[in-house]
Structure 1
Amino acid sequence: MATRGFTFVADEPHNGAIDEGPTPTEYLLMALASCTAQTLRQYVDYKYDDAGDITVEINYHEPEREGAERYLQRTITLSEEPDPDDLKVMHDIAEKSPVTLLIQFAWSVRTEFVGPR
C-alpha cells in the first residue's frame, strides 16, 4: 500500500503464513488511536505548560451472541491529572476527532468495479 510517498505492508496471516505487517483492521484501529491522541495533544499543549503523556488504546468488541452490539472501546490514559472541567472538554474533543467522526458517520460503503485502465 502507498500514499503520499509512504509505503506500508498489510497482512492477514493465516495457516502458518509469515506475519509481515498489521492487518487492515489493525490499521483502522491505529488510525483512530493516533488521530485521537494527536487531536488531544493539540488541546493539552495549548492549555498547559506540561501536559504529560497521552496513551490511546482501541479494542474491537465482537458480539458473542446474536443481536449483541459491536463496538470499539477507546481507553485514553493521561499521565497528568487534569481539572475535571478540562477532562469533560477533552472527552468532547476526542468525540470530535476527524477519524472518530469518519467512523461514526460513514455508515455505508459503496463499491463499484471498473474495467482495466
Structure 2
Amino acid sequence: MAEARVVSADDPGKGGLQMMLAAGPARIVADQPLEAGGLDLGPTPHELVSAGLAACATQTLRLYANLKGWPLGHVHVAVAHRKDEAQSPPDAFEVTVRLQGPLSPEQTERLLQIADHCPVHRMLAAGARVTTAVG
C-alpha cells in the first residue's frame, strides 16, 4: 500500500467558514456560498470532491492517450454534483468530457470508457471507509 499523503484543513477560529487547506505544496481556501453563511472565497467541500474527480479523469485520459500514442489535444472534464434524497445513493456526479485532437471515433469511444476508470471515479463508485480520531 502506498504511503498516504496527508491533506489538512485549518480553521483560524475567527468565526467564518473559510478554511485554509494544505495539499502538498498547494494552499487552497475552502468556503461556502453567501447563502450558506460563507463569503464565497473558495470552493465548497463538495466542489473539491468534484474537482478531484475532474482532475483524476483528465489525468487518466492524458496518461492513456500518451501510452497509446494517440493525438489527444485539449481535454476538458466538467463535473456537476447533485443531491437527491429520494434516490439511493443521494449523491450523484455527472461527468462531461470534451476531447480535442484528430482522434478516430473508436479512439474517442475508448477514451470515454477510460474516463470512467480513473481511480477517484472507482473510489466514489465503490464507497470508502472513513475513520475519525482525536489527534
TM-score by length of 1: 0.77
Segments of 5+ residues of structure 2 without an aligned counterpart are 1-20
Q: Among residues 20, 28, 43, which one is paired with 2:49 in the alignment?
A: 28
| Greater RCO, CA 8 A, separation 6+ | 1
Segments of 5+ residues of structure 1 without an aligned counterpart are none
CA offsets 1:6-64 (integer angstroms, 9 cap, x no match): 3221111335642221111111101100111111012223422x42111001112333x
Percent same amino acid at aligned positions?
A: 28
Query: 4+ residue runs of structure 1 moved beyond 4 angstroms?
Result: none
Residue identity in the other structure for 1:27: L
Distance between the aligned counterparts of 1:4 and 1:113, measured in 2? 22
The 3 A distance-change label for structure 1 pair 17 and 94 is closer
Aligned residues: 112
TM-score by length of 2: 0.68
Question: SS of 1:27's equivalent?
Answer: helix
Compute the RMSD of aligned alpha carbons: 2.4
- Where in structure 2 are the equivalents of 1:3-14 lying within 5 Å? 3-14=23-34
CA offsets 1:62-115 (integer angstroms, 9 cap, x no match): 33x7347642111101123522222232123212111111111125x544343x
Question: Is 2:81 the partner of 1:60?
Answer: yes
Residue identity in the other structure for 1:84: P
Q: Which has the higher strand share?
A: 2
